[in-house]
Amino acid sequence: MGLKYTSKDYYWCLTYEQPLEKKNTQNRKYRVLLASKELMEYALKKEPFEVFNKKGNARGYTHYCDRRWFHLRTMGQIVKAKKLTGLTKGQKKWLDTFFIDTLTVVAADPNGQAG
């Protein structure tokens, strides 16, 4: 008897993060964004304000969440565009400049054992 394993697919994308304030020249970095297919598809359908609501004195936090949502949405748009047929050579070349791919995570299923 062994453990039962499950797998889940994710997309990853290399993003360039810029500071929220233009006067801030620090905190510029590349970041790997990892998201499930379901979350990425959800980001294509929903606006940030529909997901993150300003509560109390949380303007900075909701602004931060808005930027993350923008990156999720962009990631979804790129994945969707790469699946289109009839792309010109130039369009395909431009889409290939984005560092984006899938990642499968395999883990033991804590609820079951293999039979």
Instruction: Output the DSSP codes for 22-72.
Output: TT-----EEEEEEEEHHHHHHHHHS-HHHH----SS-HHHHHHHHHHHHHH
At residue 76's C-alpha, the angle toward residues 28 and 31, to 5°, is 20
**Rounded percentage of the chain residues whose pLDDT exceeds 70:** 80
The rounded distance, in Å, linking the Cα atoms of 3 and 46 is 38
In the predicted model, is pLDDT for residue 113 greater than 70?
no
Mean pLDDT, the chain, integer: 82
| pTM tops 0.85 | no
- Give 40-93 pLDDT, tens digit per residue: 999 999 888 788 766 656 666 677 788 788 889 989 999 999 899 999 999 999
pLDDT at 44: 92
Tokens 């990853």 belong to residue: 12
Question: Do 53 and 65 form a contact (C-beta atoms < 8 A)?
Answer: no
pLDDT at 56: 57
Q: CB 80: neighbour CB atoms within 10 A?
A: 12
In the predicted model, is pLDDT for residue 112 greater than 60?
yes
